[in-house]
Amino acid sequence: MSTEILTLFSCSICSFLITYFTLPSVINLAYQKKLLDIPDARKVHVELIPSLGGIGIFIGVLISFTLFCSLSDFNAYKYILTSYLILFFMGIKDDLIPMNAKKKFLIQIFVAGLIAYGGVRITSLHGLFGVHDIHIVVSYCLTIFFIVGITNAYNLIDGVDGLAGGLGGIGCITLGILLLWVKEYNFAVLAFAITGSLIAFLRYNFGTYPNKTFMGDSGSLLLGLTITVLSIQFIESPNTVSIMGIHSPIGIIAGIIFIPFYDTIRVFTIRILSGRSPFSPDKNHIHHEFLRSKVGHRQTSILLWIGNLLMIVAVLLFRHQDTINLILIVFTVGILFVHVLVFIRKKVESNKVKQLNSKLEALKKENYLLQ
């Protein structure tokens, strides 16, 4: 085990260094070629910022993952690599020249189908709704739905500095540790590889203009795909129950991905109830609620990171619960956390407004008396 831990640590360091030293060149190239993200009504930044950080993440992950995984007994590698390449280049094209939504959706379905064909596939619901083993057709459909849905959830939540990268990093390092624990070594390598790259990326994502970049679709889609692949493998590992005593691996994954998942469901519901397409952009995401309360980008991300960590701790503490109970715990704790934070921030902002109004009234009275 000590050798495996050392290898995973080395993989993460390798990925970190590659991404860290690649991104400055990517940023400089983006400025030279004017490949910049232009602010508009729905974006929260005001400067022209490169959105090609996904290139550095992709290179760091690809090299370190290939170097440190054991290819001799890793049948899924070629399918994961092919899917990475397809989704990465689609993301790059969309970052530079926006693509038709239907085309992107069809490519994502193809990629998800390729992953499922490669053996990374949901084959059991582990007692959810009383269902265990499922038919192969249902298995493929459910896997494709999960991969496309969660991949886009991480893409949609990439709205403020550090949010998608931080949530993704927390999810990947958690899954990496869990996968190492259940002896899924190659997938643990993938998890540690992307964690190292994400840490390096956050250095530039939290940076100041002009040494700053966004991950763009090329990075967020890659991150979402990785999270889904790791999640499915953890759910499907035969050692998850026998070694860890987990009765509901699905519940564990629900805790890890809860914030992006809940945010996506929330904004889709708001848009549909407003008579708009669920895919139409707006400013109704959770992070927008914090920004409207005058919370900074970094503070917003850190608060939601803390929420994600609390969710993970909660599901691991209650890992012996069955699937339904654990998912109920996830949604109860998660929704309460998010809405209590939003309520507190609104209350604080309301109090600030009241204090400001009181001061203005006092000044008016003082001016009146002086007259």
Look at 370 and 65; give whichever has higher pLDDT.
65
Q: Is residue 189, in this structure, part of any structural domain at all?
A: yes
Q: Is residue 361, in this structure, part of any structural domain at all?
A: no
Q: Is residue 281, in this structure, part of any structural domain at all?
A: yes
Average pLDDT score over the chain: 86
In the predicted model, what is the mean pLDDT of residues 247-253? Answer: 87
Q: Which domain holds residue 290?
A: 2-354
Q: Is residue 312, in this structure, part of any structural domain at all?
A: yes
Q: Is residue 368, in this structure, part of any structural domain at all?
A: no
In the predicted model, what is the mean pLDDT of residues 45-55? Answer: 78
Report d(CA 60, CA 56) in Å as an integer. 6
Q: Is residue 360, in this structure, part of any structural domain at all?
A: no
79-95 pLDDT tens trace: 999 999 999 999 999 98
Report d(CA 327, CA 102) in Å as an integer. 32
pLDDT of 126 strictly over 70? yes
- The structural domain count of the chain equals 1
pLDDT band for position 318 (50/70/90)? confident
pLDDT of 368 strictly over 80? no
Q: Is residue 369, in this structure, part of any structural domain at all?
A: no
In the predicted model, what is the mean pLDDT of residues 115-121? Answer: 95
Q: Is residue 96, in this structure, part of any structural domain at all?
A: yes
pLDDT of residue 139: 95
pLDDT band for position 178 (50/70/90)? very high
Helix boundaries (H) for the chain: 2-32, 53-68, 77-96, 101-117, 136-156, 163-181, 185-205, 216-236, 239-244, 249-273, 286-292, 297-317, 323-370
Eight-class DSSP state of 50:
E
Q: What angle do CA 161, 167, 169 make, to 5 degrees?
A: 100
Handedness of CA 146, 151, 152, 153 (dihedral sign): positive
pLDDT of residue 46: 52
